[in-house]
Amino acid sequence: MFVESQSVPELAQRGEQLVKEFTAPIAASLDRLSGDEKRDKVTTQLNSTAIFGALAFLYQHWLTGNSRISKAE
């Protein structure tokens, strides 16, 4: 959904909004897991974007049946 939206100009802006909506809870979780340490906001945002990208990549492979992880798992 996110990768395909980038190829259509009309959907690209909405795709970017959705990425921000999905990465916000990931960033919040990373901040919470860090304990008392103050995390660098840029590092947290980059890490949340990387986690989101990895999940999106894996999900595409899972949907097409090209994943090494079975659908049952």
Q: Are 14 and 5 in contact (CB under 8 A)?
A: yes
Q: What is the mean pLDDT of residues 42-68?
A: 83
Span 46-55, average pLDDT = 89
Residue 40: its pLDDT value, please? 82
- DSSP secondary structure of 18-53: HHHHHHHHHHHHHHHHTTTSPPPHHHHHHHHHHHHH
At residue 48, the pLDDT reads 92
- The number of CA neighbours under 13 Å toward the Cβ of 37 is 8
Q: Is the pLDDT of residue 1 over 60?
A: no
**Model-level pTM greater than 0.85?**
no
Confidence band for 71, pLDDT divided at 50, 70 and 90: low
